[in-house]
Amino acid sequence: MTSQPIKVLQFICPTGFYGAERWILALARYLQPEQVQCDLAVTLESNTHDLELVKQYKKLGLKTFEVPMKNKFDLAVIDRMVELVKREGYTVIHTHGYKSDIIGVRVAKKAGIRCVVTPHGFENAKDFKLRAFIWLGCQAMKFAHVVAPLSKALCDDVLRMGVKPNKLQYIQNGVDLSEVEAQRQRENPLKSSGHAKRIGFIGQMISRKNIFDILDIFNDLAAKYPEITLSLLGDGDQRAELEAYTQNLQYKDRIEFLGFRDDRLELLQSFDLFVMTSTLEGIPRCLMEATAMGIPVAAYNIAGIDQLIQHQKSGLLATLGDKQTLTQYWENLLFDDVLATKYADVAREYVYQNYSGKRMADEYYQLFVNMENGQFD
């Protein structure tokens, strides 16, 4: 054990307060301050201000830095970050996301410190410019000292991208579930009663979340069940397109786009069914929270989701793109209370046993120690 805490700078170019941002917060909460000084730097751009991550991080009593960028591709931010790293004496920079990986790897090299990259998932974007940017992020990852994916599927992904096996360090995802557990103990006036059923989704509104399938499935079921509703929490690049698509659906009046909400967990607790139709995931935090809350889950069977949900044991999973089968699974879990409760109980026990935030933080501490000792140089 080192006599002084290891000085680690968490670095992200945030797009909101989603899985990666919440993950950083959970890691910082569980790392022991006498072992690791875990501070935060975020880029400050024209579309990011008054960041929730910064607010929450400050509540932990940890340092936060907002580094301005004149535009999305302002490379002068690298020198600003190098100055920050040297002034504060950080020895490790820990990056999250394509842009932060590109910047962080370069900062580490110029400042003479070590860099660990944690991939949270990869975007299967259609836009050429975004695909090119993602490619650059993946190339930058190869030059980090350590790449620490959150799931075994992501480990396979980064190896295919050319990351050397000796740089790979698998640390299974973990999450702070204390807020979820506190909400579970409360009475919830939002909970539906009688025949009413609320279906819900929480997450970014981006292409890989494939939310159009959620809208289509709901519209089909709504014709049969007049008292079901759909609540979508979150924001993202596709939100306007999704809202426009909804206007052409017959049962649009029973679909609500709620955006980012401070009462997210209270709303989650009110769901009768949590749904996902993603085409690509890491290990989604929103799904961890849903299972920890005891909400039954129906989703597509893809890597990442299959590490949290076992088909016909802790939820129902359909083959990717099979909307007809997934529609049936929604119906099963909405209207068979015994089945829904059985699966939800198994899922809840599993996430508590396997995805502890403290266990994850302990493993990261050991990784930081090993990096300080030159193991990955």
* Domains assigned to the chain: 6-174+356-372 (3.40.50.2000), 178-354 (3.40.50.2000)
Reading the chain (377 residues) residue by residue, the pLDDT tens digits are 447 999 999 999 988 888 899 999 999 999 999 999 999 999 998 777 789 999 999 999 999 999 999 988 899 999 999 999 999 999 999 999 999 999 999 999 999 999 999 998 877 667 777 777 778 888 999 999 999 999 888 999 999 999 999 999 999 988 888 889 999 999 988 888 778 999 999 999 999 999 999 999 999 999 999 999 999 999 999 999 999 999 999 999 999 999 989 899 999 999 999 999 999 998 898 999 999 999 999 999 999 999 999 999 999 999 999 999 999 999 999 999 999 999 999 999 999 988 889 999 999 999 999 999 999 98
Name the residue with tokens 């089945």: 339
- CA dist 332 and 327 (Å) reads 9
pLDDT, residue 72, reads 82
pLDDT, residue 1, reads 44
Backbone dihedral region for residue 27 (phi beyond 0: left; psi -120 to 50: alpha; all else: beta): alpha
pLDDT, residue 175, reads 82
pLDDT, residue 296, reads 98
pLDDT, residue 16, reads 85
Given a contact cutoff of 8 angstroms between Cβ atoms, the answer to whether 195 and 224 are in contact is no
- CA dist 114 and 169 (Å) reads 14
Q: What is the pTM of this model?
A: 0.73
Q: Where are the beta strands (DSSP E) in the chain?
A: 6-12, 36-44, 64-68, 92-96, 114-117, 146-147, 197-202, 228-233, 255-259, 273-276, 297-300, 316-318
3-state SS track over 131-168: HHHHHHHHHHHCCCCEECCCCHHHHHHHHHCCCCHHHE
pLDDT, residue 138, reads 87
Q: For the beta carbon of residue 188, count every other beta carbon within 10 angstroms.
A: 14
Q: Measured in Å, how far apart are the chain's first and last C-alpha atoms?
A: 19
Helices (H), 176-235: 178-184, 211-224
C-alpha 244: how far from chain center? 25
| DSSP-derived secondary structure for 93-117 | EEEESHHHHHHHHHHHHHHT-EEEE
pLDDT, residue 2, reads 47
Token pair recorded at residue 155: 């480990």
pLDDT, residue 125, reads 65
